[in-house]
Structure 1
Amino acid sequence: MYALHRLAVRCLSTRGRVRRMYSDQNVVVSPFPDVDVPSTMLPEFVWRGLPAWQDKICMECSLTGRRYTFAQSRDAARRFAVSLQRMRMEPGDVLAVVLPNIPEFGIVTLGAVEAGLTLTTVNPNYTPGEINKQLVSSGARCVITDVERYRTVQQAVAQIEKLHVPIIVAGSSTIPDKAVNFHRLVDGSVDISTPLKASPSSSPDDVVIIPYSSGTTGLPKGVMLTHRNLVANMMQLHASDIDLSVPTSDSYQDVVPGLLPFYHIYGLTVILLDKIALGSKLVTLPKFEPATFLNSISKHKASLLFLAPPLVLFLAGHPEVGPQLLESVRHIMSGAAPLGASDLDRLLAKSPPRMGVSQGYGMTETSPVIMHSRKASTNKAAVGPPIPNTCGKVLDLETGAALGPGQVGEVCCRGPQVMKGYLNNPEATSAMIDEDGWLHTGDIGYYDEKLDFYITDRLKELIKVKGLQVAPAELEELLRSHPQVTDAAVIGVPDERAGQVPRAVIVPKKPGSLTEQEVKQFVAERVSDHKHLAGGVVFVESIPKSAAGKILRRQLVGI
């Protein structure tokens, strides 16, 4: 216990002050040495190693073979930045990225940020209504998408006057008549020596990315992540005991399939930006198809796999997956949702003996990583200790007291990767981050004597479908808009393939006035696939609620 207290003092003093609180006794500080976080802007950090590997492949499309070297990617990003400013995009303006995982995603991201823009990343499978909500909330003034989603985006922006430039379309040589061709914005006619207009107050603490998350509860909210947040999290992941990468050299380059969506913070920070910064080769996959995914591993000799639990389960259960297919894979990292040790054991049984596995834990609000298991750890059930410069604690759900090893409560964290706050939502920010800077994750867990954390349950109401967030409040609002629905609640139910799927509990206006299929179709026509009611529909006479009107979801489990 003395060690925990001593470490706690160091943790609190790194923020410029030492607080003597009862909770100090049970604050867990990372066992790893602190890392120095440079005060640099994101593009400067990502491109800093470019001279050493500029002729190596940076990004390659798994379907078309379209590829860019690091030098080509860097020049294209600069040209895109110049072109955006020529289109009268100003530093601080928001660009919405509605793209699948294609090689241009990295160029768009780094080019827009170099132009001083802020990005909001949008799920490319969203409906027009869902895209419209995020565009309005984020204040987006321009959108980039691909040909396949152009009509959907057109419908989404039709009623938004703030979008003062046409929609940009990437990833294809043939584009709609009214769209702006991305490839013309990055071709050789754009002079990369053109000076860029910079904001006079630009700082590493400026917001650079606004992904959307429901946090612990409620509707999706814009998460304000700064240059410093993202740079810090990448530096933290390079600590020797958890760094999974091998340095790029003349004779070696890590190969990483980019399947997890780049619009999601896990895919954006841990896979896209960090691997570009390390000189790794990214093989982009725009969607999950078993044959294409397996081919990306074998054909490109993938060395690292960053996955979510459903993909681990897929590999563990697929008959074609064995030591030969995984021969080149050095390590597999699983994140985005908890994964059981037995599931990892099933995969390891089919893997080469030298292949390692790790788990990590985080959230959009933490850029995203908070905890990460040591790469040599044999404790597959744990998500590991806090990463460098990070401290954690577990709070009693009733009293708020910080708990000791083995005691279950809400997991909280603090570190330089914690968001600036929710966009235009100070109330939600203060509910998430307390006055001492602790972020309350809404997840239930504990830590052991070795400082390894375990995530056991979810206090927050979010449903995780294949690692993607589904906010019950969003579906409930939609369901209540149905003319035959009086009230509704949505809960997550276990699913072998997806982890969880949404189930609706409905109070109809008249008994027998609705069928399950009618409710499912109503939802399916208005939201993307992962939000569909795959868990079914149950009709009840009333929804259990607290005195304050909060839905008592635990009473709905098993209904």
Structure 2
Amino acid sequence: MSFASPFPDVEIPDLSVYDLLFGSISDEDLDRVALVDPTSGTETNYRQLIGQIDAAAGSLAARGVGVGDVVGVLLPNIPAFATVFHGILRAGGTATTINALFTAPEIAKQLTDSKAKMLVTISAMLEQAHTAAKQVGITDDKLIVLDWTGEADTGHPNAIDLLRPQLPAPQVTFDPATHIAALPYSSGTTGNPKGVALSHRNLVANLAQIRPLQGQHPDDVVIAVLPFFHIYGMTVLLNGALYNRTRLVIMPRFDLVEFLENIQNHKVTGAYIAPPVAVALAKDPIVDNYDLSSLRTIVSGAAPLDDTLGTAVAERLDVQMLQGYGMSELSPVSHMMPTDASAFGQDQPPLASSGWPVPNTENKIVDPTTCAEITIPEEGLSEPGELWVKGPNVMLGYLGNDQATTETIDVEGYLHTGDLAQVDAAGCVYIVDRLKELIKYKGYQVPPAELEALLLSHPRIADTAVVGVIEEDTGEEIPKAFIVTRPGTELTAGEVIDFVAAQVAPHKKVRAVEFIDRIPKSAAGKILRKDLRSLAH
């Protein structure tokens, strides 16, 4: 049976992203600080940011960007990301955000698939950007290098060339429900990346859906370490902060010391993280050297967070620890814990869960083998099944890939997430693991996330990942654990195997162990299991 969000429906404005964020901004909010660059100390208020966005839109339009044209954005987290991203949307264009760690061939592949006619980057990424641009036919005057010497010297426009003309933003007309605003690409950790077509309405809807659950206020300060090129950072951090008029402290990459210093120095009140950051906050002794008393709320997403780890962070930092769930195809948030769960008769939502469906959405949990709908239990947890989601945040589809779209979104409008989930009697959803990542050992299903959470509770394990590998002698798929030990400690494979075996059913036991220096992860914090499988030996 389907079950709806327990939260009241919210109004979804029929607006573009720009008009939602800035169309009715008050004079008081115009003078609020929007973005902070902690490295330089530069602060940008909303009035300045809107002026920069309008100027970028005018310049892009003069350079040939119109309604429906795609512009590649290859940038780390810097304040200029907001100007470029929203300038593209303001001009009627579509922003395809590119992983800042991509190689030239990977960049070229995305530029080709998205049919981008322009690319914006910085000098640190120019080598791979220029190689990719040249390969796909983007000329130097269409490759903007924000921090370089400029068009007159190099043929590449820079930020001054982009903003100095002060051309008025163009008057553009499009349907927010069908016009593609953002074109992120799926992570590719389990398959070939696909362009996820997100309309203005998709992004606007998701901001409206999560706003009442976030509990953010204009006086809040949020730290942004998750990459803006990823949909989590794009919607929840960048656009979410701008929508709520909060102050955003921007970090180009995660460094634990800088992260802690910025929380301390800028009196950060909220943080959005992925589970690897939670591991550091729970276990690294250096955390105790910083005053983090301003921090009230931490929200984890991008991958399942174990409740033991989440509780350890909450108790160590004296914060409210919350979790959410989503995916690029859902703009991205479909489930979230509210900062105030009193309506559910709870002081704290169950941290093992991903929270409740966001407003204006419906869910189903479906047996992946029989396609039978799984009912909500009167107590405890339901049987596991694939999570299906329907709502205004569901993507338009995969760019140029009708087959993949119809395989993912059914005729009733439900998006099949590919994630295995359970639901409790209160309608709270628990993500078990990716269906594609489940290890099949002698016919039994073994969720890697469950074993990873257990392994992380070991005092000598700093990080871990579990994947299915084929055992040479038997040809059987078995769970293999990759282990990063804490500095100054020693651990044997046998100790790891015995630790797990003492706490799980026999079919879930870890049957092989390999010690490595670090667990490969995407910029959004997802474990790159395909990389680990290639390492397995």
Q: What amino acid is aligned across from residue 202 of structure 2 in structure 1?
A: N
Q: Which of 453-462 and 85-94 deviates more?
A: 453-462
Q: 1:270: which partner in 2?
A: 236
Q: 1:30: which partner in 2?
A: 5
Q: 1:287: which partner in 2?
A: 253
Alignment length, in residue pairs? 455
Q: In 1, distance between residues paired with 2:335 and 2:273? A: 16
Alignment partner of 1:196 is 2:170: yes
Q: CA deviation at 1:384?
A: 1.0
Q: In 2, distance between residues paired with 1:281 and 1:338? A: 27
Q: In 1, distance between residues paired with 2:369 and 2:294? A: 49
Correspondence 1:347-358 to 2 at 5 A: 347-352=313-318, 355-358=319-322
Counterpart among 303, 306, 309 of residue 272 in structure 2: 306
Q: CA deviation at 1:214?
A: 5.4
Q: CA deviation at 1:90?
A: 2.0
Q: 1:181: which partner in 2?
A: 158
Q: Which secondary structure does the structure 2 equivalent of 1:91 belong to?
A: coil
Correspondence 1:446-465 to 2 at 5 A: 446-461=422-437
Q: Which of 497-506 and 169-178 deviates more?
A: 497-506
Residues 307-334 of structure 1 show CA distances to partners (whole Å, capped at 9, x for unaligned) of 1111111111121324962200111111
Q: Which secondary structure does the structure 2 equivalent of 1:107 belong to?
A: helix
Correspondence 1:87-98 to 2 at 5 A: 87-98=63-74
Q: In 1, distance between residues paired with 2:123 and 2:313? A: 37
- Aligned 8 A contact 1:46 1:274 in 2: no
Q: What amino acid is aligned across from residue 69 of structure 1 in structure 2?
A: N
Alignment partner of 1:218 is 2:194: no
Residues 211-265 of structure 1 show CA distances to partners (whole Å, capped at 9, x for unaligned) of 00158953100000000001000101122xx22312x2xxxx2111110000000
Residues 435-475 of structure 1 show CA distances to partners (whole Å, capped at 9, x for unaligned) of 11111101111100010000112103599xxxxxxxxxxxx
Q: Which of 56-65 and 213-222 deviates more?
A: 213-222
| Inter-CA distance 348–217: structure 2 relative to 1 (3 Å threshold) | closer
Is the helix fraction higher in 1 or 2? 2
CA RMSD in angstroms, aligned pairs only? 2.8
Q: In 1, distance between residues paired with 2:71 and 2:49? A: 19
Q: Which secondary structure does the structure 1 equivalent of 2:433 belong to?
A: strand
- Aligned 8 A contact 1:98 1:145 in 2: yes
Q: CA deviation at 1:397?
A: 1.7
Q: In 1, distance between residues paired with 2:383 and 2:322? A: 23
- Aligned 8 A contact 1:119 1:208 in 2: yes
Q: What amino acid is aligned across from residue 367 of structure 2 in structure 1?
A: D
Q: 1:115: which partner in 2?
A: 91
Q: In 2, distance between residues paired with 1:161 and 1:504? A: 41
TM-score by length of 1: 0.76
Q: 1:552: which partner in 2?
A: none
Q: CA deviation at 1:97?
A: 0.3
Alignment partner of 1:372 is 2:336: yes
Q: What amino acid is aligned across from residue 74 of structure 1 in structure 2?
A: I
| Inter-CA distance 394–534: structure 2 relative to 1 (3 Å threshold) | closer
| Inter-CA distance 534–44: structure 2 relative to 1 (3 Å threshold) | same
Q: 1:150: which partner in 2?
A: 126
Q: In 2, distance between residues paired with 1:440 and 1:138? A: 24
Q: In 2, distance between residues paired with 1:426 and 1:498? A: 39
Q: In 1, distance between residues paired with 2:395 and 2:72? A: 19
| Inter-CA distance 102–343: structure 2 relative to 1 (3 Å threshold) | same
| Inter-CA distance 456–70: structure 2 relative to 1 (3 Å threshold) | same
- Aligned 8 A contact 1:506 1:537 in 2: no
| Inter-CA distance 259–385: structure 2 relative to 1 (3 Å threshold) | same
Q: CA deviation at 1:498?
A: 6.2
Q: Which consecutive residues of structure 2, in runs of 5 or more, have no partner in the other structure? A: 342-347, 377-381, 440-447, 457-461, 473-521
- Aligned 8 A contact 1:96 1:144 in 2: yes
Q: CA deviation at 1:170?
A: 2.0
Q: What amino acid is aligned across from residue 40 of structure 1 in structure 2?
A: L
Alignment partner of 1:337 is 2:300: no
- Aligned 8 A contact 1:30 1:388 in 2: yes
Correspondence 1:77-96 to 2 at 5 A: 77-96=53-72
Q: 2:535: which partner in 1?
A: 537
Correspondence 1:106-505 to 2 at 5 A: 106-161=82-137, 165-171=141-147, 177-187=154-164, 189-191=165-167, 194=168, 196-199=170-173, 201-213=174-186, 218-239=191-212, 242-246=213-217, 248=218, 253-322=219-288, 325-352=291-318, 355-375=319-339, 376=341, 377-405=348-376, 406-461=382-437, 500=465
Alignment partner of 1:40 is 2:40: no
Q: In 1, distance between residues paired with 2:532 and 2:435? A: 22
| Inter-CA distance 245–117: structure 2 relative to 1 (3 Å threshold) | same
- Aligned 8 A contact 1:504 1:537 in 2: no
Q: Which secondary structure does the structure 2 equivalent of 1:37 belong to?
A: coil
- Aligned 8 A contact 2:388 2:415 in 1: yes
Q: In 2, distance between residues paired with 1:202 and 1:453? A: 34
Q: In 2, distance between residues paired with 1:149 and 1:214? A: 20
Q: Which secondary structure does the structure 1 equivalent of 2:285 belong to?
A: coil
